[in-house]
Copies of this chain bind each other. A is one copy, B any other.
Amino acid sequence: MGRETAAVSGPQLILASASPRRFEILSRLTASYRVIVADVDESPHNDERPVDYVRRLAEAKARTVAGPATVVIGADTSVVVDDEILRKPTDRDDAREMLQRLRARSHDVISGVAVLATAADSTERIAVGHEVSEVHVDDLSEARIEWYVATGEPDDKAGSYGLQGSGGLFADRVTGSVSNVIGLPLGLLDSLMTELGFDVVATEWATS
A-to-B contact residues, CB < 8 Å: 1, 25, 28-29, 138, 143-144, 147, 163, 165-166, 168-170, 172-180, 185-187, 190, 200-202
Contact of A172 among B138, B168, B178 (CB under 8 A): B178
Q: Are A28 and B201 in contact (CB under 8 A)?
A: no
Q: What is the chain B residue whose CB lies nearest that of A28?
A: B166
Residues of B within 8 A of A165 (CB): 28
Q: Are A186 and B201 in contact (CB under 8 A)?
A: no
Q: Are A173 and B176 in contact (CB under 8 A)?
A: yes
In the docked arrangement, what's the CA distance between A174 and B187, Å? 13
Q: Are B190 and A178 in contact (CB under 8 A)?
A: no
Q: Are B170 and A187 in contact (CB under 8 A)?
A: yes
Q: Are B168 and A25 in contact (CB under 8 A)?
A: yes
Q: What is the chain B residue whose CB lies nearest that of A184?
A: B168
Q: Are A29 and B169 in contact (CB under 8 A)?
A: yes
Q: A168-B186, A178-B178 are in contact. List 13 more A-B contacts (CB 8 A).
A: A29-B169, A143-B202, A144-B201, A147-B202, A163-B178, A168-B178, A169-B190, A172-B178, A172-B186, A173-B176, A174-B175, A174-B176, A174-B178
Residues of B within 8 A of A173 (CB): 176-178, 187
In the docked arrangement, what's the CA distance between A201 and B143, Å? 10
Residues of B within 8 A of A144 (CB): 201
Q: Tell me, rounded to whole Å, the shortest Cβ–Cβ distance linking A157 to chain B.
A: 14
In the docked arrangement, what's the CA distance between A179 and B181, Å? 13
In the docked arrangement, what's the CA distance between A178 and B165, Å? 12
